[in-house]
Amino acid sequence: MNSPFRVIGKSFARLDARGKVSGKAVYGTDFAMQGMLHGKLIQSPIASGEILSIDIERAMAMPGVYAVVTAKDIPAQRYGSFVKDMEVFASQRVNFVGQPVAAVVARTVEEAEEAVRAVDIKYKELPGVFTTEEAIQAGAPLVHPAWQEYKAVPTVKRDGNVTNYARLVLGDVEKALKESDRVFTHRFVTNVVHPGYTEPRAAIAHWDDSNQLVVWSNTQLPFEAQATLAEIFKLTPSQVRVNLTVIGGGFGGKLRLGVEHYAAAAALKAGRPVKFVSSCEEEMTSALPRQPLTIELTTGVTNDGKILAKEASILVDTGATSGSGVGVASSVMLMLAGPYKIPNLRLESRSVYTNKTPTGSFRAPAGPQGNFAVESQMDIIADALNIDPLELRLRNIVREGDLAPNGQKLESVSLETCLLKAADAIGWKDRKPARGRGKGIACAWWTTTSGSSGVYVKLGPDGRVFLNTGCAEIGTAALTGAAQVLAEALGVELADIQIVSGDTASTPFDFGAQGSRTAFAVGNACLDAVTKLQQRMKEIAAKQFSAKPEDIEITTGGVKHGDKTLSLREIAAVAQASQGGLIAHGTFIAPPTLHDKERTENMVITAINSPSFHAHAVDLSVDEETGEIKIHDYVVVQDVGRAINPKYIEGQIEGGVVQGIGQALSEEIVYENGIVRNPGLTDYKMPTAMDAPNIRSFLIESPSKVGPYGAKGVGEPPVIHPPATIANAIAAAVSARVQTLPITAEKIVRTLAEVSTKAT
C-alpha cells in the first residue's frame, strides 16, 4: 500500500523477530530457576460431586516428593471476572471433570506424575447438568448450590444456574412481526473450540525473602494476573510481581489465570520455586475454550427485503464457572443485531452454568457465534425472497451517520465498500457456477477494547529510544506496530527503538493484550509521550539557543531555531548531564462510546468502540457423496482504519481465517456427560498448513477518529466470518444448509439425505 508517512504504512520486520527465529527467545515452557521443583495437578474424575476425603500419606512418602497442596493450604477465597465463583483448588465439591483438587510438588515432572496416582481422593457423585437447556429447567441440579453467597458486579442479574440475564430492546417487536410480509425463525448451535495456541500455559512462582510473590508467566494480562493473585493470597498488588516470558500465542486463552495460582500455592507450601506446565490433556479438559451458544433467531421482513424486526433467545454455556460468559452474553447481542438498520429489536441472552469445562475469551468473543447465526439467516431470507444475498445486505446495512442498534452514532463506516470489493474479488455474479460448487459472503462489525495504557519513552544519549510498556507481545507484532507509531511521531527510525515490556514492578499499567487494542492503545500512549518529550526538547533547546521554547521548531530527528540545530542525540546528552535524562510518561484511556442506555438491560458490554467493518467471501466445492469440502479461494476485505504495518495485518488476517475455518469445519471439544472424549490433538482436528486455502486480503483505510494515525483494531475480525461465509457457500453449492457447527462431512451427507427424503 502507498503510504504518505515515513514509518507508518510500511512493512518493517518485527522487532522481536531475531530472538524468535534464532531460538534465543525464552518462552514460558523454557524458563527455569535454580532449585526449581515441578508441580502436577490432581484433577476430578467426575463432573459433579462432594469431596469426602483426601489422603496424601502414600504420595508424601514417595521419592522426590516435597509437598501435596490442597484447598486447606491457601486462603478460602473465591475470585472471578463478573461473579466470584472460582476456587484455586476445589474445597468441598467438584463441578467439572478436570477440576483441580490438589497438586503434587516433586523434584522432577516424572516423580510428580507418579505421586499424583498415589493421592487417594474419595468422592460422592451427584447429579449434574450438561446442556444449557437442562440447566435452566425448574428443579435442575444447581452447579453452585451456594450461588447467592457469591459476590458479583451489580450489573448482572442471576438466578440459580443463570449467571446473567440481559436484554437489548428497541421499538415494538410484536407489532413489527405482525406487520412483516415474511417471518423467519431458525435455530443455530455453535461448538466448543480451543484457542489452539502453540505453547501451553506455563508459570514459575516463588516467594522471595521479603515474602513477595514473584511469578514468571506467559499470560496475556500481567497486571490482571497480579491483581487476581493478590486477591487469592490476600496480598496487596505491590506484594505480587509478574514477569512476562516470551509468549507462544494466546488468542484470549491466556487472558485469565492459567497455572500461575497453582505455582504460587505450591511454592508457598514447598518453600522453593515451582514450575507448572499444562499437558495437552489438561489444555483440552481444563483450559478456557470458546463458549458454545444456542441461538433461536426470528426476523421479520418485507417482500422487498427490508428488515422490520429481529427477536432472539440466546443461551451461552459458560461451563462450571461464569468466567467471561457474562460478557459474551452481552456482546453476542450486538453481533446478532449485526451491522444492520433494524427499527425493532428484542434480544434476550442468558449465560448459564453447566457441569463442563469453564469457558473463556477466545479471539473475538461472541463474534463467530453471533455472526454464524445472523449471516446464515440473511442468506436463508434472501433465497426465500428470491433476492441476491449481496443485494439483501446492501439494502439493510448501516452507513455513515446511522445509529447502531444500541443507539451509538456510527462514523467511518466502510461496510458497503467492503461488501462490494469482496463480491467483486470472488466473482460474485456467478454465485452458483455448477452443481456442487458455490460462493458465500458474510459481513460484520467489531470493536476495539477500551482500558488504559501507559508507556515510558526514554531517549538515550546515543539516540536510542526505549519504549517501556506493561503490554504483552503475544505474537501479533502489535508492539512493533506501536513502535512504528512512536518512530513516526518522534522522527526516528524503527531500528532505533527498543521495547521493554512485561514486568509489573517496573512498567506502567496496561489493560493488556486483548480485544484488538494493543497497537491502538499503546500507540496512542506513545503519541502522548512524544508530545511531552517534544515540549521538554523545546525547553532544553531554548536554553542552548538563548531562545523561547515556543520559537523552537521540531524537525525529523531533532530541533532547530533559525540556522541552529540540535539532534535528538545531542538533546538527550544535555538532558542526561543536566536533568537526569529525557523520559516521558504517556497515557491513553479510550473515550466512552455514547449510546442509548435505555435500550440495554443488565448488559456488561454495551457498545462497539471505534468500530471496524469487514466482509469475507469464499468459493468452494462440495462432494455430495462424501461431504468433503474443497476451498478454492477465500477473500477478506477489512477496514483497518490505517494500515500501520500491512505485512503483519495480512498475517493476522490469514491466521484468523484459518482459525475460523477450523471452527467452521472440523474443530470441536466433544463431551459425553461432562467427560471430554477427544482430549488430544489426534482427535481434535485443527487445520494445519496443508489445510490452509488460498487467502487474499484487501485492506481498506477509513480512518478512525480515535486510533493513532486513524488505525482501528485488526487482530480479531478475521476469525469472525468464516463459519457463516462457508455455511452460505455450502448451501449455495448443494441447496442444503447445516445450522450447527462444525459443518462436518457427515453432517453435510446427513442433511442432503434429509432434503432428498423431504423432496420425495
What is residue 702's predicted lDDT score, i.e. its pLDDT?
Answer: 97
Half-sphere exposure for 181 (CA within 13 Å, toward CB): 10
> How many whole angstroms separate alpha carbon 458 and alpha carbon 530?
10
Q: Is the pLDDT of residue 722 over 80?
A: yes
Half-sphere exposure for 665 (CA within 13 Å, toward CB): 25
Sheet of strand 553-555, all strands in order from the earlier edge strand to the far edge = 553-555, 558-561, 564-567
Cα 280 from chain centroid (whole Å): 21
Cβ proximity of 262 and 41 under 8 Å: yes
Q: Is the pLDDT of residue 152 over 80?
A: yes
CA torsion 192→49→79→314, rounded to 10°? Answer: 40
Cβ proximity of 598 and 398 under 8 Å: no
What is residue 46's predicted lDDT score, i.e. its pLDDT?
Answer: 98
Q: How confident is the model at residue 97 (pLDDT cuts 50, 70, 90)?
A: very high
| pLDDT tens-digit readout, 187-201 | 999 999 999 999 999
What is residue 306's predicted lDDT score, i.e. its pLDDT?
Answer: 98
Q: How confident is the model at residue 756 (pLDDT cuts 50, 70, 90)?
A: confident
> How many whole angstroms separate alpha carbon 467 and alpha carbon 462?
15
Q: Is the pLDDT of residue 1 over 90?
A: no
> How many whole angstroms separate alpha carbon 234 and alpha carbon 736?
57
Residues constituting the chain = 760
Cβ proximity of 197 and 251 under 8 Å: yes
> How many whole angstroms separate alpha carbon 743 and alpha carbon 746?
8
- Mean of the pLDDT values across residues 683-687? 96
| pLDDT tens-digit readout, 10-50 | 999 999 999 999 999 999 999 999 999 999 999 999 999 99
Do β-strands 100-106 and 202-207 pair in parallel, antiparallel, or remain unpaired? unpaired
The single-letter code of the amino acid at 499 is: I
Cβ proximity of 153 and 327 under 8 Å: no
Q: Is the pLDDT of residue 759 over 90?
A: no
Q: Is the pLDDT of residue 758 over 90?
A: no
| pLDDT tens-digit readout, 448-488 | 999 999 999 999 999 899 999 999 999 999 999 999 999 99
Nearest to 709 by CA among 475, 486, 473, 446: 486
Query: Domains in the chain, please, with CATH?
Result: 17-25+450-589 (3.30.365.10), 37-126+198-249+254-286 (3.90.1170.50), 293-448+595-759 (3.30.365.10)
Omega before 742 within 30 of 0, i.e. cis: yes
What is residue 719's predicted lDDT score, i.e. its pLDDT?
Answer: 98
> How many whole angstroms separate alpha carbon 759 and alpha carbon 287?
45
Q: Is the pLDDT of residue 735 over 70?
A: yes
Cβ proximity of 610 and 602 under 8 Å: no
Q: pTM of the prediction?
A: 0.97
> How many whole angstroms separate alpha carbon 342 and alpha carbon 595?
16
Using DSSP, state whether 644 is helix, strand or coil.
coil
Q: How many helices (H) and strands (E) does the chain have?
A: 18, 29
Cβ proximity of 468 and 454 under 8 Å: no
- Mean of the pLDDT values across residues 693-698? 97
Write b or e for each residue in 223-234: b if 16 or more Cβ atoms lie within 10 A of its Cβ, otherwise e. Answer: bbbbbbbbbbbe
What is residue 77's predicted lDDT score, i.e. its pLDDT?
Answer: 87
Cβ proximity of 566 and 544 under 8 Å: yes
Half-sphere exposure for 357 (CA within 13 Å, toward CB): 27
Partners of 301 in beta bridges: 182, 307
What is residue 387's predicted lDDT score, i.e. its pLDDT?
Answer: 98
Residues 6+ apart with CB under 8 A from 756: none
What is residue 466's predicted lDDT score, i.e. its pLDDT?
Answer: 97
| pLDDT tens-digit readout, 256-277 | 999 999 999 999 999 999 999 9
| pLDDT tens-digit readout, 500-542 | 998 999 999 999 999 999 999 999 999 999 999 999 999 999 9
Nearest to 337 by CA among 413, 404, 275: 404
Neighbours of 414 (CB within 10 A): 24
Cβ proximity of 636 and 422 under 8 Å: yes
| pLDDT tens-digit readout, 356-391 | 999 999 999 999 999 999 999 999 999 999 999 999
